[in-house]
Amino acid sequence: MNLLIKSATILDPGSSFHQQVADILIENGVITRIADDIDADTELFDAEGKYVSPGFFDLNCNVGELGLETKEDLRSGTIAAAAGGFTGIALMPNTQPPVHSKSEVEYLLNRSKGNLVDVYPLGTISQKREGKDLAEMYDMYQSGAKAFTDGSRPVQDAGLMERALLYAQGFDALVFSYPEDTAIAGKAKVNEGEISTLLGMKGIPSLAEELMVARDLYLAEYTVSRIHFTTISTARSVELIREAKRKGIEVTCDVAAHHLVLTDEALLGFDSLYKVKPPLRTADDVAALVKGLKDGTIDAIVSQHTPHEIEFKDVEFEVAEYGMVGLQTAFSLALKAGLPAELIVEKLAINPREILGVELPVIAENEKANLVIFDTDAEWEYAPSVNKSKSANSPYIGQLLKGKVLLTYNNQQIFK
């Protein structure tokens, strides 16, 4: 599909047009010309005062397919992703069955062919996500799995994590760590602190996360391996990773967008829409996460999109499932956290692809068009009619948000 974008401010550190205002002509999926004033007989999009950047990429996204399609399937999930400005998503293997062999990887890749949004299945570290034996990691890698994780289940066995790091190193794959020591976390549902005391609920101490971060950093150092921590949430975790980077350990990490703006005070009304894992933490933790993004300790922002049917969320807080849908709100929440547009592009578009080893789109002539246009000042209501996910478990539905994705383009397809 051909498109002429007029007067856009280009945000792409890999482009010679970075921070310049220009017209962009896209023909047959390729950027054929970038100049001050282009005249072409094709569909026009006026982007004056708006930004254009490489399409966003989500490193932590859940869709129900395989087996849980009533929560979200690939079609609805990729439409929600496109609406949020994402042109690529890495799928967590939290499915039934989990993505633990090449069959599931190949199924997801075949099902998502020809989509505006590029889909990258992540394989499990352990068979059936049970944390006992290594899954068929090399077979999955050969079939297209870019990295390995047990998703929302932490790998409790240090020996298994060590073997996974060593094995993945042999074919230059990446291992994701979801850092939580379940022996410390127990069956608690919220962050341990003043709010959990007020609520009369047993809390998950930040120590549960930080112990696992420390353990896996030691394992990565010992095995001389790369490791990626997904959805860190505490100030001490940021400190540990900052120090590890200073030491030269090959570590990257990401943070969920909602952890940048919400604290555990949101739970005072026992609203299960705010029940997430890791749990919402304190204001000090939020400040440390934002600082970590700004100083480069935290490499990426993720949506941690986790859809659930209403019967799994509209219940008592104790029994409700964890998670919220987040593909359409991630950009707005990053803005709400006080991050400048250029930094958001780095954390939502550039770094995630570099972490996963995915080809980086560039806004330059003769390059494939893979981009998003957004307005940092526009306000929009996340109304039920605007929600593209099959599920509606977000506390932001019905709210007015600032920062709007206006157009997403990839694979010769357009969403606006």
Dist CA 279 CA 203 (whole Å)? 9
Token pair 């400048």 is found at 340
Q: List, for residues 320-333, the tens digit of each pLDDT value.
A: 999 999 999 999 99
Per cent of the chain over pLDDT 90 is 98
Q: Say yes or no to pLDDT of 219 above 90.
A: yes
What is the CA angle 20-58-399, rounded to 5?
Answer: 85
Dist CA 51 CA 361 (whole Å)? 16
Residue 307 DSSP SS3:
coil
Domains defined for the chain, CATH in brackets: 3-51+366-378+400-415 (2.30.40.10), 55-356 (3.20.20.140)
Q: List, for residues 177-210, the tens digit of each pLDDT value.
A: 999 999 999 999 999 999 999 999 999 999 999 9
pLDDT value at position 1?
Answer: 83
Find out whether the peptide bond into 179 is cis, omega within 30 degrees of 0.
no
Q: Are 299 and 346 in contact (CB under 8 A)?
A: no
Residue type, 245: K
Q: Say yes or no to pLDDT of 223 above 90.
A: yes
Length of the chain: 416
Q: List, for residues 291-310, the tens digit of each pLDDT value.
A: 999 999 999 999 999 999 99
Find out whether the peptide bond into 273 is cis, omega within 30 degrees of 0.
no
Dist CA 62 CA 127 (whole Å)? 19
Taking alpha carbons only, the member of 398, 401, 395 closest to residue 376 is 401
Query: If you write DSSP's letter for every residue of 141-192 in order, what string do you get?
Result: HHHT--EE--TTS----HHHHHHHHHHHHTTT-EEEE----HHHHTT--EES
Q: List, for residues 30-69, the tens digit of each pLDDT value.
A: 999 999 999 988 999 999 999 999 999 999 999 998 999 9
Dist CA 120 CA 113 (whole Å)? 11
Q: List, for residues 150-168, the tens digit of each pLDDT value.
A: 999 999 999 999 999 999 9
Find out whether the peptide bond into 97 is cis, omega within 30 degrees of 0.
yes
Q: Give the mean pLDDT of 401-406.
A: 97
By CB neighbour count within 10 A (0-12 exposed, 13-18 middle, 19+ buried), where does 247 fall? exposed
By CB neighbour count within 10 A (0-12 exposed, 13-18 middle, 19+ buried), where does 96 fall? exposed
Q: List, for residues 336-394, the tens digit of each pLDDT value.
A: 999 999 999 999 999 999 999 999 999 999 999 999 999 999 999 999 999 999 999 99
Taking alpha carbons only, the member of 331, 413, 410 closest to residue 363 is 410
Q: How far is CA 139 from CA 4, 74, 120, 173, 174, in A?
A: 43, 23, 15, 12, 14
Q: Are 307 and 325 in contact (CB under 8 A)?
A: yes
Q: Which residues pair with 265 in a beta bridge?
A: none
Dist CA 57 CA 64 (whole Å)? 19
How many Å from the N-terminal Cα to the C-terminal Cα in the chain? Answer: 13
